[in-house]
């Protein structure tokens, strides 16, 4: 990678924005402000607490219920963890193959397949 290309990618990362060109339209996705992050956390916590008060099962209770009703077993947990590790490995491989488009896109197809298995 040439010096000017490295500088471009570094400046892109530092600016914190994502630029997307789609159908002759340039979109700029900006990061949330601290106020927006706080507000979203506040809404989430309020909804979570209301769900708990209303008796919605916690994640642990849901897992236990699924095991009791034979909808899930511990092998599924192991498989899920393996798929998550594979997904992380695919992401690293995509990064490492960033300059080799055919290889990168091949790895990306494996990544999408693994993500679809998780739902």
The pLDDT value given to residue 9: 84
* Per-block mean pLDDT, blocks of 10 residues, the chain (119 long): 88 88 93 96 97 93 91 85 94 92 93 89
The pLDDT value given to residue 1: 77
Question: What does the alpha-carbon distance between residue 77 and residue 25 come to, in Å, rounded to a whole number?
Answer: 43
Q: CA gyration radius for the chain? A: 21
Distance of CA 16 to CAs 1, 12, 13, 39, 40, Å? 22, 7, 6, 20, 19
CB 94 within 8 A of CB 108: yes
């Amino acid at each position: 990678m040439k010096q000017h290309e490295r500088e471009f990618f570094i400046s892109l990362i530092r600016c914190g924005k994502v630029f997307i060109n789609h159908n002759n339209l340039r979109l700029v996705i900006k990061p949330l402000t601290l106020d927006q992050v706080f507000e979203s956390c506040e809404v989430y916590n309020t909804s979570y607490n209301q769900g708990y008060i209303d008796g919605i099962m916690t994640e642990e209770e849901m897992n236990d219920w699924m095991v009791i009703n034979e909808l899930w077993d511990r092998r599924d947990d192991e498989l899920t963890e393996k798929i998550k590790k594979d997904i992380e490995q695919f992401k690293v491989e995509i990064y490492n193959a960033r300059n080799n488009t055919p290889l990168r896109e091949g790895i990306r197809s494996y990544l999408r397949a693994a993500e679809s298995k998780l739902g």
